[in-house]
Chain A
Amino acid sequence: MLQLDRKTVTREVSNAQIEAGGGTIVEIDGDTPWQEAATQISGAVQVDIRFPSFKDGRGFSLATLLRERAGYTGRLRAVGDLIPDQAQFLHRVGFDDVAPDRTDLDADWARARARFTHAYQPAQDRVTPIFGQRTATPKDDLAALNARYRGADAIDILRDAIRNEWTGRIAILSSFGAEAAVGLHMISQVAPDTPVIFLDTGRLFAQTEQYQRALTDQLGLTNIRMVRPQAEEAMAEDPDDKLWQRDPDACCALRKVRPLDNVIGDYDALITGRKRFHGGERMALPVVERLDGRIRVNPLASWSAQQVTDYFQRYDLPRHPLSDMGYASIGCWPCTAPVQDDDDVRAGRWSGRSKTECGIHTPSRIAAE
């Protein structure tokens, strides 16, 4: 089953209700008049609309009317004889999920779902239609962008950012850590030639390096940019390889912050995989923010740990080898430790110190303090 990642909160509620045995799943035929359907689905937490043939478009109107006229907010799933080329239409009329008869085409469904950046007409997905965008506020207006991306799916945000807002001037920053595969998989669907900036600090786990190569290969990413610390600076500032112990902030500055600064000029915007559930300063993370004059796009900001897990399963993505060993967030080997089950995911980073961020996501004046 391929999920379309719509109305996440509602789905979590539905999932919980279904698991708790509360709420029912109702299947209705696509040719059911919507008024009749509306009475059949009262109390349902999930409604399946059956398409007898992919050529029978009545289910598209029915979904629209259940959402728009009947006010149904639960989970809506399209089932039956559907083809991947309908993914975006299904999503746009209000379906959360689809369960097609032919089940071996998940990759085609994912690609089709990411096919079009814009839409000419308003629909249930709340995307601003092109005629609305033409009359909208200028691009660099953070509030307007955040308003536009509010409630949008991560992949729609990514697609819009890469193909439209910052075309050719955007990269994704990836640690190839525990959750990195999610954002990278989406990139592979939207534009696999997007630059992926990978900070090779010289202190990475061997497993991370291994994982980076394997994942890049599997996803077909074609533009990995390895960024390394300057050799002379490393010799001068960290001759004994113990800087991490003496002054972890200085070590991060040498191995992450300054190398990134050296390449950042090529881009107007950087995509990150940060999420609010990581805690700390990230709890207030907006989808789009400005940092030292550059844009950071955080399409996964609102994602939960469960969503990450689901996504890995759905697309059968490989886990970082250290994930199974209790590492929930993975940085350089000297400063990363496994976490306990009830810890925050980033509790293992600079464990035992007050430090929580390396500095690449922090304004420079604060990082310097």
Chain B
Amino acid sequence: MMEFLTQGWILELGWIVAKIMVVIGPLLIAVAYLTLAERRVIGFMQLRKGPNVVGPFGLFQPFADALKLMAKETIMPAGANKVVFMIAPMLTFILSLVAWAVIPFGEDLVIADINVGILYLFAISSLGVYGVIMAGWASNSKYAFLGALRSAAQMVSYEVSMGLVIINVLLCAGSLNLSDIVEAQRGMWFALPLLPMFVVFFISTLAETNRAPFDLPEGESELVAGYFVEYSSMSFALFFLGEYANMILMSSMTVVLFLGGWLPPFDIWPLNIIPGPLWFIIKIMLVLFVFLWVRATTPRYRYDQLMRLGWKIFLPFSLIYVVLTAGFLLVTDRLPAVTLS
């Protein structure tokens, strides 16, 4: 009896681990190729070629970079707080991976289909600030610390408007479950009725992932490289990977909330034979391309402009839009039905 129980338990655990591996493996490869895509795309936008030497079209460049980083020496700064210094990059990387547990890749293609999926995503993304702030503090360096403080203030500010944008989507979907949110977009993607919120959300994700034009935490012209200036070798690579995994995560969050997740744009013949996960990946890639496009074309924001945008424009705007959306849904009697007890 006992043996049978333990075996069932092990099988279940093995199945879960297998599912996690199926998500994490391709994700890491996607992260590697996103770094290459970034350099190539920005290269073409700036009329350069970008890295094209290692392998055909430079396709082996990520592996060359990874090997180079691994071969380098890990340097521990003299006055650094060793424990926190080493935990910070791990935390960043782990947080960028655990959020994938609730992302639905297709109908029933999700590791954990929990009721509060969107809140879980929101919670995990709000924890990303700890990796940055711990790294900045533990490095015992002015530049790293200033970068970390900037980043903490920036991420906390933009989270507020992101939360309000999510409320808009929830009002339309009537559920916190990500699969339900995608299903609610079967008739029309939320990007159309909530277009202003879609734009606000996308800009907030740029700020949340510390990407250009909001990459002040690592503004190299004033802070050298910001919070990870003291990091080298693999600990630097973990920050780097975490940042790109976060970009992909935020893109997939945008896709789930606004661009109909795994649903085809129209439910007509040539479009609906393409499997759901493929649609999901295509949409993520489109959003990621815009991430790179923005980086290649916009100058960096000044810090007070960044704060002004977050607190004085996005916050009131999304708050008013919540009232508008709720009012519209109530008046036209389109509020999603919720069964109580």
Q: Do A and B bind each other?
A: no
Binding site for A on B (CB under 8 A): none
